[in-house]
Amino acid sequence: MSGLPQWTPELIQAEIDALKHKPGALLPILHAIQDKFGYVPTEAVPQIGDALNQTRTEIHGVISFYHHFRTSEPGSHTLQICRAEACQSMGSRALEAHAKASLNVDYHGTTADREITLEPVYCLGNCACAPSVRIGNDIHGRVSPEKFDRLVSRLTTRALELK
């Protein structure tokens, strides 16, 4: 769906084995798995625990502590809207409302066509050209509701072309 490979225990193990020798390896491992497959499948937890000599509860505790990590499959694109103060001063509250209404999802939700997962974010460091939005690894500035619609339609048309 998201253009990322489907995880398998072997593929997950390869990510773990590449990093487990680093000091403090857990976050790098979780990042690697999520970057590769779009999320950290629950099934990966015991595998990680075994490699790092930690209990499942400990690994779960870490995953759930950090907002960045997700345990279910996201849509093709993750779209983050900055909710922090500099963006608020430039109309991000209206932008949030527009985004939720036009995509018909709330935060952490995925659109019905599974194209877009909407997430909040607290500052993208683009605070002088607010409001800010991040789609994948691209950040966009001065995002008015109109610019938002353009960005979203570009995403969905591009996705169609790929199919």
Partner 1 sequence: MTTRIFVPCDTTALAMGADAVAAEIARQAKTRGAQVEIIRNGSRGLFWLEPLVEVETAAGRIGFGPVDVEDVSALVEAGLFEGAGEHPLALGLVEEIPFLKNQQRLTFARSGITDPVSVEDYLALDGFRGLEKALQLSGQQIVDEIKASGLRGRGGAAFPTGIKWQTVLNAPAEQKYIVCNADEGDSGTFADRMVMECDPYMLIEGMAIAGLAVDATQGYIYLRSEYPVAHRLMNMAIERAYAAGYLGDNLMGSGRRFDLEVRLGAGAYICGEETSLLESLEGKRGLVRAKPPLPAIVGLFGQPTVVNNVLSLAAVPFIMHKGGETYASYGMGRSLGTLPMQLAGNVKQGGLIELAFGATLRQLMEDFGGGTFSGRPLRSVQVGGPLGAYLPESQWDTPLDYESFAAVGAVLGHGGVVMFDDTVDMGEQARFSMEFCVVESCGKCTPCRIGSTRGVEVIDRIRANENREANLELLADLCETMVDGSLCAMGGMTPFPVQSVMKYFPEDLQR
Q: Kindly list the residues in this chain that would bind partner 1 in the complex (CB under 8 A).
A: 23-28, 30-31, 52, 61-62, 65-69, 84-90, 93, 121-130, 132, 134, 137-142
How far is CA 149 from each of CA 48, 68, 129, rounded to the nearest angstrom?
A: 40, 25, 18
Q: Is residue 132 within the footprint of ligand FES (CB under 6 A)?
A: yes
Stretch that binds ligand FES, among 1-9, 16-24, 47-55, 126-134 (CB under 6 A): 126-134
95 binds, among ligand FES, partner 1, none (CB under 5 to 8 A by kind): none
User: Between 24 and 163, whose beta carbon lies closer to partner 1?
Assistant: 24
User: Between 9 and 93, whose beta carbon lies closer to partner 1?
Assistant: 93
How far is CA 147 from each of CA 15, 37, 132, 137, 138, rounded to the nearest angstrom?
A: 38, 29, 11, 18, 14
Stretch that binds ligand FES, among 54-62, 67-75, 84-92, 104-112 (CB under 6 A): 84-92
- What is the maximum span of the chain, computed from C-alpha positions, in angstroms? 51
Q: Is residue 124 within the footprint of ligand FES (CB under 6 A)?
A: yes
Q: Is residue 133 within the footprint of ligand FES (CB under 6 A)?
A: no
146 binds, among partner 1, ligand FES, none (CB under 5 to 8 A by kind): none
What residues contact residue 44 under an 8 Å CB cut-off, 6+ apart?
A: 7, 12, 33
Look at residue 128 and give its three-state secondary structure: helix
Look at residue 10 and give its three-state secondary structure: helix
Q: Is residue 82 within the footprint of ligand FES (CB under 6 A)?
A: yes
Q: Is residue 80 within the footprint of ligand FES (CB under 6 A)?
A: no
115 in Cβ contact with 155 (< 8 Å): yes
Torsion 16-19-24-28 (CA) sign:
negative
